[in-house]
Amino acid sequence: MVLYDIEELDLTSSAEVQKQLNSINPHAIVNTAAYTAVDQAEQEANAALAVNATAVANLAGWATDRACRIVHISTDFVFDGKSNTPYTPEDSTAPLSVYGGSKRAGEVQLLSGSQDKHVIIRTSWLYSEYGKNFVKTMLQLMQEKDELGVVADQTGSPTSTHSLAGLVLQMLSQGAKSGIYHWTDGASISWYEFAGAIQAEGIRQGVLETGIPLKPLTTADYPTPATRPAYSVLDRSKTLTGLQVDASNWEQELRRVIKRIATSIEK
């Protein structure tokens, strides 16, 4: 297994992608690279498209005539959020933001090349003990503030990166059929409800000493440059039935991640 960080491989450069991949000749590529600054993308559309679409085209171009499949991570932001039932992989896309549009463009680049070989996994609300994400931000703010407002009218499904990584490995080992799959940890909750669960688990595991009042906000109360889907729950039934994978549980995954955060604090 060869891992590349953003500083080590410029995926937006076709020449560099060709050079690096020719040197290792992989039989599979897992593309987790993405421009994910959703609001910033509204002012940096070219940068978002370069990472989220052009880079995917470069990878697909190299893999086209080779025995190499790509597993590409995409997002719930390809949907407009106007549904009131979970989105299936077959549902029509209609991104509301530059970020969502750039991710959909990446999907199109991959599917237009070799539809019979590659895999796209759409996921949502990713978090872990690493990097910047909603869980870590909430825990930090809950330590710093006396009260916290959280958007309550956007509904989705939290997904642990550990859960997602496990799915990717199983897909590769099982030789999953090509196409689009959805994967989350199974919830259908608001950011406000998720924040409440984070606080409760943070207290239980000693990351937080005490709780603070959480105030439900509307999207209008908390305006952002990018429009976000109000409802972006993904239907993962195709993934569960088509592959020999166990259904993950968002509460269990949250518990595990906060336990890792607690352990790192103790060290």
Domains of the chain: 14-266 (3.40.50.720)
Q: Where are the alpha helices (DSSP H) in 33-181?
A: 45-49, 55-63, 98-113, 134-144, 161-174
Nearest to 117 by CA among 12, 28, 26, 181: 28
Structure confidence at residue 114 (pLDDT): 66
d(CA 72, CA 99): 16
Contact yes or no for 29/117 (Cβ under 8 A): no
The three state secondary structure string of 117-154 is CCEEEEECCEECCCCCCHHHHHHHHHHHCCCEEEECCC
Report the SS3 class of residue 250.
helix
Q: What is the pLDDT along the chain (267 residues), one digit of tens a residue?
A: 788 887 888 999 999 999 999 999 999 999 999 999 999 999 999 999 999 999 999 999 999 878 889 999 999 999 999 999 999 999 999 999 999 999 999 999 998 866 678 999 999 999 999 999 999 999 999 999 999 999 999 999 999 999 999 999 999 988 888 999 999 999 899 999 999 999 999 999 999 999 999 999 999 998 999 999 999 999 999 999 988 888 889 999 999 999 999 987 755
Token pair listed for 163 = 């859960």
CA distance linking residue 209 with residue 215, whole number of Å = 19
Residue 266 pLDDT:
56
| Contact in structure between 18 and 2 (CB atoms under 8 Å) | no
pLDDT of residue 105: 97
pLDDT the model gives residue 65: 79
Q: State the pLDDT at residue 126.
A: 97
Catalytic residues: 99
Q: Number of helices and strands (H, E) in the chain?
A: 9, 10
Q: What is the pTM of this model?
A: 0.93
Tokens at 152, concatenated: 């309550």
